[in-house]
Structure 1
Amino acid sequence: MKKIKVGVSSCLLGNNVRYNGQHQLDHFIRDTLGQWCEFVPVCPEVECGLPIPRESMRLVGDVNNPRLMTGKTGIDHTEKMKSWIEGKLPELEREELVAFVFKTKSPSSGMRKIKIYNEQGERISFNGIGMFARAFMERFPDIPVEDEGRLCDPGLREQFIETIFVLQRWRDAVKAGTAKAVVDFHTKHKYTFMAHSPQKLKELGKLTARAGTVKPEELVEEYRTVLHKLLKEKKDRKKNYNVILHIMGYFKNHLTAGEKDELLKEAQLYYDGISPVIVPLTLLKHYTMKYEEPYLLEQYYLNPHPVELGLLNHV
């Protein structure tokens, strides 16, 4: 797989673009995730023409349509930012980003819980969205987004990164231009999709069953719509436990009574929140390799992302 193209707030990559002339380097994003991602850095405030360093900004007025103003002098940079956004979004569309990671608390790039002030400088809300982040999410509703604060949560981090790897494989399948590529993609992600939504998995299964009767481009469009909805549904212990039990069924004629008991015990410990999912998955991968189950050998559920990321060790 080629590197996954991800937009990211420039300061998170160590670039000195913040209002105080500093950066906000996130080592996990730049140094770890960067081994598999090609980053497209974006700093709305600098790119719209503001200097480094500069007076800090704040959002003022209507929560749903605030103005971007300097905190002390009250200079209004709203129109400057809007004009830049209008030109930047088509540029980012051409980049074909798979995802975007925003900077928390930023009045331009924060995707959640941004402070809103009134004209007197009093905080009136904590539910604002940065001007650029809002415009980006409205323009590209199917592109997954997170901020570096939420990525500190192991569960959110794992699901976000799993999603971007799935979407990159999907884009590769689409570029192949055949119905067979879509069917292959679906087959290899069966248990990944089951862990998100058994119901949506059934919908996708019905679509792939029509692969030989519809035009590839029609299949792709219908499949894409359901796929994005499915990936927005969160995995949880109950769904993962259900998938683990399904996969165990492949080994019912292979395992000894003791091995079955061990696998069930580890699955239950995961379900009860005592151990991480990597424990039962490691056993399943071991038996998959040992008994050479061809269907499971191709399942991304057992290998959703590079092991070097260590994401399954904490969920």
Structure 2
Amino acid sequence: MNSTQQTATLKIGISACLLGQPVRFNGGHKQSRFCTDVLSQYAEFVPVCPEVAIGLGTPRKPIRLVSDNSHDTTVRALASADAEQDVTEPLKQYAQQQALEMNDLSGFILMQKSPSCGLFGVKRYLANGHPEGTTTGVFAREFRRLHPLLPMEEAGRLNDDALRENFMVRVFAYQEWQTCRAAGMTATKLIDFHSRYKYLVMAHSLVHYKSMGKLLADLHHASLDDIANEYFTQLMTALATPASRKMHTNTLMHLQGYLKRLITPADKAELTEVIQQYRQGIVPLVVPLMLLKHHLNHDKTVNAYARQQVYLNPHPYEMGLRNTL
């Protein structure tokens, strides 16, 4: 990770209940220890509670997402105790307002199963009260529509080691791109950005690894701004897929290739063995990474290209996100 990523504070939107604020419909909260105890050391949180923001009290009667029939995926947010109280438009309008005001975020963490904030698996009901599938919360859907590339995740899913690490990879990448864009994009900066992100993309998507290379092979076929926008779309799309053990192994072996003339046969055999132990699930990802970085850093006059790879440090090492992968 470069110095900008290490020192700049992330700005992350978050459902207020996840910070321990008593804004739930029952007057409670759903404090996330990962957010308050770990991520808070690196991020400035911007808390929101859409339901409170539109004037619903605390505590309050819960709202639910309702469709007119089983074939209709359009939902309305209605008070469960009073079907005449429709808060769909106020929630949408609040999302639109926040999307304008919170345009400097690098990520958003939302409360799962919430009819306003849930991203996945929010219960959907029919008008007769029977449950009928799942959907996305009204606020979350509208905010994501307006910021489609912004890393967004549910707090519950962050309990999964792979999803948590993947979310933070995307958040730090999004932040660095914002910083790069704000400083003024040039062809040199775009190529430099990609040269550092190349192996991170490889670990997540070989399809995008190839298509992004082709995109940057000719910077004269379109305006630089259009190319940069397309590049960023492909970058965030690639990173949205968590890297598999197989893809990590492939990337580690590619980076090992930079050492073939610089380390002894015994050291090469040891590194190869550790990479294979990771592939087999015997050791976590941090083990081959630490050994690889040790060899790459042994002689700083060589391998500058490999050492600058964001893949080696996509987020602060102290977060320990790769210790359990």
Match of 2:315 among 281, 305, 308: 305
* 1:296 alignment counterpart: 306
Q: Deviations over 1:8-39 (max 9, x none)?
A: 11110111111111211112112311222222
Q: Distance in 1 between matches of 2:144 and 2:225?
A: 25
Unaligned runs of 5+ in 1: none
CA distance in 2, matches of 1:297, 1:176: 24
Structure 2 match to 1:18: 24
> Helix, strand or coil: the match of 1:200?
helix
| Maintained 8 Å contact 1:150/1:157 | yes
Name the SS of the counterpart of 1:77 in structure 2.
strand
Residue matched to 1:66: 75
Q: What TM-score, normalized to structure 1?
A: 0.92
Residue correspondence of structure 1 range 215-294 to structure 2 within 5 A: 215-292=223-300, 293-294=303-304
Tell me how far 1:144 sits from its aligned partner.
2.0
Aligned match of 2:160: 153
CA distance in structure 1 between the aligned counterparts of 2:116 and 2:151, rounded to whole angstroms: 18
RMSD, matched Cα: 1.9
- Partners of 1:200 and 1:124 in 2: how far apart? 36
The question of whether the paired residues in 2 share the 8 Å contact of 1:48 and 1:81 is answered with no
CA distance in 2, matches of 1:309, 1:77: 44
Identity %: 39
Tell me how many residue pairs correspond in the alignment. Answer: 312
Q: Report the residue type matching 1:92 in the other structure.
A: A
Contact 1:110-1:133 within 8 A present in 2 as well = yes
Unaligned runs of 5+ in 2: none
Given the alignment, which residue of 118, 123, 137 partners 1:115?
A: 123
Would the alpha carbon gap of residues 211 and 35 (structure 1) be closer, same or farther in structure 2, given more than 3 Å must change? farther
Q: 1:245 to 1:291 in 2, by over 3 A?
A: same
The reply to whether residue 85 of structure 1 matches residue 85 of structure 2 is no
Indicate yes or no: 2:112 matched with 1:138: no
Does the aligned pair in 1 maintain the 2:219–2:227 contact within 8 Å?
yes
What amino acid maps onto 1:133 in structure 2? A
More displaced stretch, 198-207 vs 211-220 = 211-220
Higher relative contact order (CA 8 A, sep 6+): 2
- Tell me the secondary structure at the aligned position of residue 28 of structure 1: helix
Deviates further, 43-52 or 24-33? 24-33
TM-score (norm 2): 0.89
Q: SS of the residue aligned with 2:124?
A: strand
| Cα distance, 1:98 vs structure 2 | 2.2
Structure 2 residue aligned with 1:41, among 34, 47, 71? 47
1:269 CA drift (Å):
1.1
Q: CA deviation at 1:51?
A: 0.6
- Aligned-partner SS, 1:111: coil
Q: Quick check: 296-305 or 28-37, which moved more? A: 28-37
